[in-house]
Amino acid sequence: MSITLTTRTFTFILEWMLQLSFKSESGRATATAASLSELRRGEHGVIDRLDLPADQALRLMELGFLPGASVMAALSAPGGDPRVYRVDGSEFALRRETASRLILRAARDVA
Protein backbone atom coordinates (compact mmCIF):
# COMPACT_ATOMS: atom_id res chain seq x y z
CA MET A 1 0.00 0.00 0.00
CA SER A 2 2.58 2.52 1.10
CA ILE A 3 4.90 1.44 -1.73
CA THR A 4 2.25 2.12 -4.38
CA LEU A 5 1.59 5.46 -2.80
CA THR A 6 5.28 6.41 -2.90
CA THR A 7 5.55 5.32 -6.52
CA ARG A 8 2.51 7.37 -7.45
CA THR A 9 3.82 10.42 -5.66
CA PHE A 10 7.15 9.99 -7.40
CA THR A 11 5.50 9.64 -10.81
CA PHE A 12 3.44 12.70 -10.10
CA ILE A 13 6.48 14.81 -9.17
CA LEU A 14 8.36 13.55 -12.22
CA GLU A 15 5.46 14.40 -14.53
CA TRP A 16 5.23 17.81 -12.95
CA MET A 17 8.92 18.47 -13.45
CA LEU A 18 8.63 17.35 -17.05
CA GLN A 19 5.70 19.69 -17.62
CA LEU A 20 7.73 22.55 -16.26
CA SER A 21 10.87 21.91 -18.18
CA PHE A 22 9.74 20.45 -21.47
CA LYS A 23 9.02 23.30 -23.77
CA SER A 24 7.89 22.42 -27.24
CA GLU A 25 10.61 22.64 -29.83
CA SER A 26 8.65 23.44 -32.93
CA GLY A 27 11.08 23.73 -35.78
CA ARG A 28 11.36 27.37 -36.66
CA ALA A 29 13.58 28.56 -39.44
CA THR A 30 15.39 31.77 -38.72
CA ALA A 31 15.59 34.73 -40.99
CA THR A 32 18.45 36.46 -39.32
CA ALA A 33 21.11 34.05 -38.10
CA ALA A 34 24.37 34.22 -40.02
CA SER A 35 26.07 31.36 -38.22
CA LEU A 36 25.15 28.37 -36.10
CA SER A 37 25.99 30.23 -32.90
CA GLU A 38 23.29 32.79 -33.61
CA LEU A 39 20.52 30.20 -33.73
CA ARG A 40 18.32 30.26 -30.69
CA ARG A 41 16.95 27.13 -29.10
CA GLY A 42 14.52 25.39 -31.42
CA GLU A 43 15.62 27.27 -34.54
CA HIS A 44 16.82 25.62 -37.72
CA GLY A 45 19.46 26.71 -40.18
CA VAL A 46 21.08 25.26 -43.27
CA ILE A 47 24.88 25.17 -43.35
CA ASP A 48 26.50 27.02 -46.22
CA ARG A 49 30.17 26.52 -45.43
CA LEU A 50 32.57 25.72 -42.62
CA ASP A 51 34.98 28.53 -41.98
CA LEU A 52 37.53 26.32 -40.19
CA PRO A 53 40.93 24.72 -40.88
CA ALA A 54 40.60 21.66 -43.10
CA ASP A 55 41.08 18.97 -40.45
CA GLN A 56 38.53 20.53 -38.10
CA ALA A 57 36.05 21.02 -40.94
CA LEU A 58 36.45 17.40 -42.04
CA ARG A 59 35.85 16.15 -38.52
CA LEU A 60 32.61 18.13 -38.30
CA MET A 61 31.54 17.05 -41.78
CA GLU A 62 31.95 13.40 -40.82
CA LEU A 63 29.49 14.03 -38.03
CA GLY A 64 26.95 15.52 -40.42
CA PHE A 65 27.75 19.23 -40.34
CA LEU A 66 27.96 19.35 -44.13
CA PRO A 67 27.15 22.21 -46.47
CA GLY A 68 23.45 21.84 -47.20
CA ALA A 69 22.67 20.03 -43.94
CA SER A 70 19.86 21.32 -41.77
CA VAL A 71 20.86 21.87 -38.17
CA MET A 72 18.70 22.63 -35.18
CA ALA A 73 19.91 24.37 -32.06
CA ALA A 74 18.85 22.43 -28.97
CA LEU A 75 19.64 22.77 -25.28
CA SER A 76 22.82 24.22 -23.91
CA ALA A 77 24.97 24.38 -20.83
CA PRO A 78 24.01 27.17 -18.42
CA GLY A 79 24.89 30.47 -20.07
CA GLY A 80 24.28 29.15 -23.58
CA ASP A 81 27.77 27.78 -24.21
CA PRO A 82 28.43 25.07 -25.29
CA ARG A 83 25.19 24.31 -27.08
CA VAL A 84 23.83 21.01 -28.33
CA TYR A 85 23.07 20.92 -32.07
CA ARG A 86 20.87 18.32 -33.66
CA VAL A 87 21.88 17.15 -37.09
CA ASP A 88 20.64 14.09 -38.90
CA GLY A 89 19.16 12.53 -35.79
CA SER A 90 22.30 12.88 -33.65
CA GLU A 91 23.23 15.47 -31.10
CA PHE A 92 26.61 17.11 -30.65
CA ALA A 93 27.69 19.85 -28.30
CA LEU A 94 29.84 22.61 -29.81
CA ARG A 95 31.39 25.60 -28.16
CA ARG A 96 30.31 29.00 -29.39
CA GLU A 97 33.75 29.67 -30.85
CA THR A 98 33.30 26.66 -33.15
CA ALA A 99 29.61 27.15 -33.89
CA SER A 100 30.24 30.73 -34.99
CA ARG A 101 32.47 29.41 -37.78
CA LEU A 102 29.70 27.31 -39.28
CA ILE A 103 28.14 29.82 -41.67
CA LEU A 104 24.46 29.48 -42.51
CA ARG A 105 22.71 30.09 -45.81
CA ALA A 106 20.61 33.21 -46.05
CA ALA A 107 16.95 32.52 -45.29
CA ARG A 108 15.65 33.10 -48.83
CA ASP A 109 18.01 30.45 -50.22
CA VAL A 110 16.75 27.99 -47.65
CA ALA A 111 13.11 28.28 -48.63
Partner 1 sequence: MSDCHGCGEATSVLPALSKGPAHAVIAIIGPPNSGKSTLFNRLTGLRQKVANFPGVTVEQHSGRVKLDSGRDALLIDLPGLYSLAARSEDEQITHDVLKGLRPGVPRPDGVLLILDSTNLGRHLLLAAPILDLGLPTLIVLNMADDLSGRGGTVDVAALSQQLGAPVALISATRGDGMGAVMDFLDGADARKKPLIELPVINDIPQCRRWASRISDGAGYHAPAPPYWTRRLDAIFLHPAAGPFIFVLVVVAVFQTIFKAAVPLMFGVKALIDWSGNVVGALLPDSVLRSLLIEGVWQGVGAVVVFLPQILLLFLFIGVLEDSGYLARAALIADRTMAKVGLQGKSFIPLLSAYACAVPPIMSTRTIENKRDRIATIMIAPFMTCSARLPVYTLIIAAFIPDRPILGAFLGMPAAAMIGLYVLGFLMAVITARLLKSSVLKSVRTPFILEMPPYRLPTLRSLALRLIDRAKVFLRRAGTVILGVAIALWILAHLPVKDGKAPPLEASIMGQIGHAVEPAIRPLGFNWKIGVGLITSLAAREVIVGTLGTIYGMEPDAKSEGLQQAIRRDLTLGGAVALLIFFAFAMQCMSTVAVVRRETGSWKWPAAQFAYMTAVAYAGAFVANQLIH
Using CB under 8 A, which residues numbered 71 to 110 contact partner 1?
74-79, 81-82, 84, 88-95, 97-98
88: region left, alpha or beta (phi > 0 left; psi from -120 to 50 alpha): left
Collapsing DSSP states into helix, strand and coil, what is residue 64? Answer: coil
* Phi, psi for residue 68 in degrees, rounded to 5: 95, -10
Residues in the chain: 111
Binding marks (x or -) toward partner 1, 20..59, rule CB under 8 A? -xxx----------------------------x--xx-xx
The binding site for partner 1 (CB under 8 A) comprises 17-18, 21-23, 52, 55-56, 58-64, 66-67, 74-79, 81-82, 84, 88-95, 97-98
